Amino acid sequence: MSLYYVQKLIYELNRDPRTRARYAAERDAVLAEYELTAEERAALVAPDIGLLYVLGVNGQLLMHFAALHRIEWPDYLERMREGLRKHGPVREGVYAATGYEGVP
């Protein structure tokens, strides 16, 4: 898994209008610039907020990425909960260290 590269891409998409424009115009070329697994690529393209959360993407980055895709706050939270139900506990990153396995 390449959590660093997933988060780096999301950070760039959140912060850089040129990266967003390139991603919209030539998504595959932008994705190829990052070392991503097939699962990560699919989650980014979907966008599958729940899977990205379970993969360990930082919530601060993820909430802006969700907003970029016009996902409203309550739906964002539900997608994270659904990710836990569907994919299990967070696999990597700071949220994996919490030991949280319940799904409210």
pLDDT digits (tens, 9 = 90+) for 2-46: 899 999 999 999 999 999 999 999 999 999 999 999 999 999 999
Q: CA–CA distance from 15 to each of 26, 34, 54, 57, 68 (Å)?
A: 18, 17, 23, 16, 10
User: What is the domain range of residue 37?
Assistant: 3-94
Instruction: Give percent of the chain with pLDDT exceeding 90.
Output: 83
| 101 in any annotated domain | no
| 99 in any annotated domain | no
| Domains contained in the chain, number | 1
pLDDT at 99 over 70: no
pLDDT value for 92: 87
| 44 in any annotated domain | yes
CATH number, domain of 19, equals: 1.10.700.10
| 33 in any annotated domain | yes
Amino acid identity of 86?
Answer: K
| 50 in any annotated domain | yes
pLDDT value for 83: 94
| 23 in any annotated domain | yes
